[in-house]
Structure 1
Amino acid sequence: MKIKVLLVDDHMLVMSGMRELLEREEDIIVVGMVLKLADLQEAIETFNPHVVVMDIRLKDGNGLHWTKK
């Protein structure tokens, strides 16, 4: 079984690089990429990731605050 990862960052270049690095591993698949916290809940429900890799400073909020929910 592959580990499903959801990426959250407000910089597409950063997410694209992370996706490329993560998907070099045979047991990891990036199931989605989210640019803003406003779209995070829907992405989690849609993609059902095992892991969320999230920037802590986003344009529309604080990633650390959201993780505490």
Structure 2
Amino acid sequence: MFGLGWQELLLILIVLLILFGGKRLPELARGLGSGIKEFKKALREDETTSQNEKPKEIEQKTEKKD
């Protein structure tokens, strides 16, 4: 995982706990999780859209040649 050991992850967690507190940390994690979920959803939608448009582009190019 990005070359981080357990000591580094523990240090990052402690720093986050000090900065944001115990009550705010779960809210931040939830927000980060939902942001990642939305990003992946947008990527999937973009892939399906681009796959659907490729055959249309090929058809248009062949029609222009005729």
What TM-score comes out, normalization by structure 2 length?
A: 0.26
Which has the larger share of strand?
A: 1
Greater RCO (CA < 8 Å, at least 6 residues apart)? 1
Q: Judging by fraction of residues, say which structure has more helix.
A: 2
